[in-house]
Amino acid sequence: MAIFSLALKSLINRRFTASLIVLSIALSVALLLGVERVRTESRNSFANTISGTDLVVGARSGAINLLLYSVFRIGDATNNISWKSYQHFAKNPLVAWTIPISLGDSHKGFRVLGTNEDYFRHYRYAHKRHLKFREGQPFKGVYEAVLGYQVAKKLHYRLGQKIIIAHGAGMTSFALHADKPFTVVGILDPTGTPVDRSVHIPLQGIEAIHKDWVNGRHVPGMKISAQQALEMDLTPKLITAFMVGLKSRIATFRVQREINDYRREPLSAILPGVALQQLWDLMSIAENALLVVTALVVAVGLVGMLTVMLAGLNERRREMAILRSVGARPIHVFLLIAGESLLLSLVGVVFGLLLLYTALVITQPLSRVIMVYFFRSEYLHRANR
Amino acid sequence: MSSSLAIQINALQFRWRRNLPEVLNIREMNVACGERVFIHGPSGSGKSTLLSLLAGVNLPTAGEVQVLGKSLGTLSGPQRDHFRSDHIGFIFQLFNLIPYLSVLENVTLPCRFSRLRKNKVLNSNATLEDEALRLLKHLDMANEELIHRPITELSVGQQQRVATARALIGAPEIIIADEPTSALDSDMRQAFLQLLFQECEATRSTLLFVSHDRELEPLFEHQIALDEINQPRRDEQ
């Protein structure tokens, strides 16, 4: 106890150097824990993007590519799949439900996703949580839209708002489907997944706005009004991908093989959990590099403390001799020096934690920040300029 | 009769390492309890080495050192540390004080490490601070303003007096002063010695005063010329 109070007084005496050491330790601790936190949060949000879906099916391509465009809405599909193939597997007796997805259009930089009511019924994220409506309800009419949380928030949209879909995925696209505006009928709760950044419209809506378009171009002179389009057959011919929920998970591989071996069209079925893991492994190099750098920062902080302590040791020889002469035993002198370092490290760690949590409280919840960073996709970004 | 002797040295030999020359070879040296002894000798005559042996910091290569009837060679390291903190007070030449402690904390420092000395103070019905103040007063240092000054702002003479109070607190049987006056001018030296003697008398401590300054010699009742009693053999190398 005597030694502890001596250590404390000695540190107070050298408060300037001591506070610098505490600062450097605090910063490195905050950095280490911060990086660790970002790691786990991003891993979680990754794994939480999709849940309860057994298979994701798209045109034949790599698992990660399919996952990226269908679930994360990053990049583009290599090809579309036909409505017939979709119908074929949707009617498979082993399949409990399916969610068709049609991508390719956008609204002010946010992806537009064509789907049907099954999306709101069956799509699940995190630990099998269903999508919830903050306001409004699922679309019923052809020209109705449901917004993700971020879309509504960023663009200050309310229910009843008319929005115009742009052809392609650019924010300043010149090809607008201006003649067929959509009405916002629902806004979803935040999920921390790409759903937040999507505009959902019915598949029939996608079909309707493209009635007078061929091969991605507006056909000159051809004009089909919104009303006229409603009277036409709006069954889609192509979709981008679909998600599958099975009656029994045991059948997963069987259905996957069946889809992959489908004769009429080259398809790929992937297990989202496996693909997520593969995607995460891809990122783990960067993740580990970050961790190594942080560990080095902590090491530098500690070495800094060691340097200061050792440099001080020489000056403090006299002090130690005096302490020995008044009866301090070698263990006391050791405890004095070690105690000071321990005290500095402890205070540094405590300050580091305080620093980290203050930063977390001040900034938005970290997961939200990460999601925004991740899902402002490269593609959209470039198109925005 | 050894109990009445504060220090008893028998056939002491000391060398720092086996292949280094002998530094000390003292056949006999006795100091009685309560004596004030002046130990002098030119630089390099082994004064500091002798003090380290008396304090039990080093052990003799051969022979025996008895302090207060205890043979230091029979004690373990921690026991010697204990023994030193209980029975010996030190005053050094310079920089005696811990810079980050106050005057009073410096004076009471030995009581943090020696329960014996702490209890001695407490048994005389005083708190540690009271006793420190009493000693400082006797050493003309009880001035309120001086006591609250940081150690680094005290003059050398004032520092030495604080160090003396620290050596005396808890009335250790032996005070070892290693050239405590060499940094003081001659007027200060006289006054300092008067105070030191007075206090040693009051606590009946044995004073071992080491110096190369022969002017001070007449003030002591007993003198030991180290270069006379120390006869290291230089032939065998």
Say what the ipTM of the complex is: 0.80
What pLDDT, in 10s, does the model give residues B98-147? 888 889 888 988 888 888 888 888 888 778 888 888 888 888 777 888 88
Distance of CA A86 to the CA centre of its chain: 28
- Higher per-residue confidence, A223 vs A262: A262
State mean pLDDT over B219-233: 83
Is A276 contained in some domain? Answer: no
Q: According to the model, what pLDDT value does residue A139 have?
A: 92
* Total number of domains constituting chain A: 2
Q: Quick one: closest CA in B to A328, which residue?
A: B113
A27 shares its domain with A68: no
A312 shares its domain with A181: no
* A381 confidence band (pLDDT: 50, 70, 90): very low
Q: Which of A248, A270, A292 is the last residue of a domain?
A: A270
Chain B CB within 8 Å of residue A322 CB:
yes
A301 shares its domain with A244: no
Q: What CA dihedral angle connects A333, A338, A344 and A347, to 10 degrees?
A: -110
State mean pLDDT over B39-66: 84
pLDDT at A333 over 60: yes
Chain B CB within 8 Å of residue A326 CB:
yes
Is A304 contained in some domain? Answer: yes
pLDDT at A379 over 80: no
Q: Which two tokens stand for residue A350?
A: 């405590």
Of B57, B96, B112, the CB nearest to A322: B96
Task: Decide: A26 and A351 in contact? Cβ < 8 Å.
Answer: yes
Chain A CB within 8 Å of residue B95 CB:
yes
A202 shares its domain with A316: no
pLDDT at A27 over 70: yes
pLDDT at A364 over 60: no
- Higher per-residue confidence, B209 vs B4: B209
Cross-chain residue pair B98–A319, CB shorter than 8 Å: yes
pLDDT at A214 over 90: no
- Higher per-residue confidence, A381 vs B32: B32
Cross-chain residue pair A327–B114, CB shorter than 8 Å: yes
Is A158 contained in some domain? Answer: yes
Residue B186: other Cβ atoms inside 10 A: 11
Amino acid at residue number A242: F
A145 shares its domain with A292: no
Percent with pLDDT over 90 in chain A: 32
Is A238 contained in some domain? Answer: yes
Give me the domain span that covers residue A228.
55-270
A238 shares its domain with A340: no
Chain A CB within 8 Å of residue B113 CB:
yes
Task: For chain B, give the number of residues.
Answer: 237
Mean pLDDT of chain A: 84
Q: Which of A270, A301, A329 is the last residue of a domain?
A: A270
Is A279 contained in some domain? Answer: no
A265 shares its domain with A130: yes
Contacts of A323 in chain B (CB under 8 A): 98
d(CA A118, CA A187): 16
A255 shares its domain with A116: yes
Of B96, B97, B101, the CB nearest to A9: B101
Can you name the residues that pair with B8 across neighbouring β-strands?
A: B30, B66
Tell me whether strands A182-188 and A144-147 are parallel, antiparallel or unpaired.
parallel
A81 shares its domain with A13: no
d(CA B46, CA B225): 11
A94 shares its domain with A16: no
A229 shares its domain with A351: no
What pLDDT, in 10s, does the model give residues B175-200? 998 888 877 777 778 888 888 888 88
pLDDT at B237 over 50: no
State mean pLDDT over A133-148: 92
d(CA A103, CA A69): 9
* A341 confidence band (pLDDT: 50, 70, 90): confident
* A372 confidence band (pLDDT: 50, 70, 90): low
State mean pLDDT over A91-98: 93
What pLDDT, in 10s, does the model give residues B143-163? 888 888 888 888 888 888 888
Is A277 contained in some domain? Answer: no
Is A96 contained in some domain? Answer: yes
Cβ under 8 Å to B: A residues 54-83: none
Is A275 contained in some domain? Answer: no
Q: Which residue out of A325, A331, A334 would a mutagenesis test of the B interface target, given it has the greatest number of B Cβ atoms within 10 Å?
A: A325
Q: According to the model, what pLDDT value does residue B199 have?
A: 84
* A1 confidence band (pLDDT: 50, 70, 90): low
What pLDDT, in 10s, does the model give residues A155-206? 999 999 999 888 876 555 567 888 889 999 999 998 888 899 999 999 999 9
Prediction pTM value: 0.63
Q: Which two tokens stand for residue A206?
A: 């996608």
A40 shares its domain with A59: no
Chain B CB within 8 Å of residue A160 CB:
no
d(CA A67, CA A281): 14
Q: Which of A239, A270, A301 is the last residue of a domain?
A: A270
Delineate the domains of chain B, giving CATH numbers in brackets.
35-60+75-229 (3.40.50.300)
Q: According to the model, what pLDDT value does residue B2 have?
A: 41
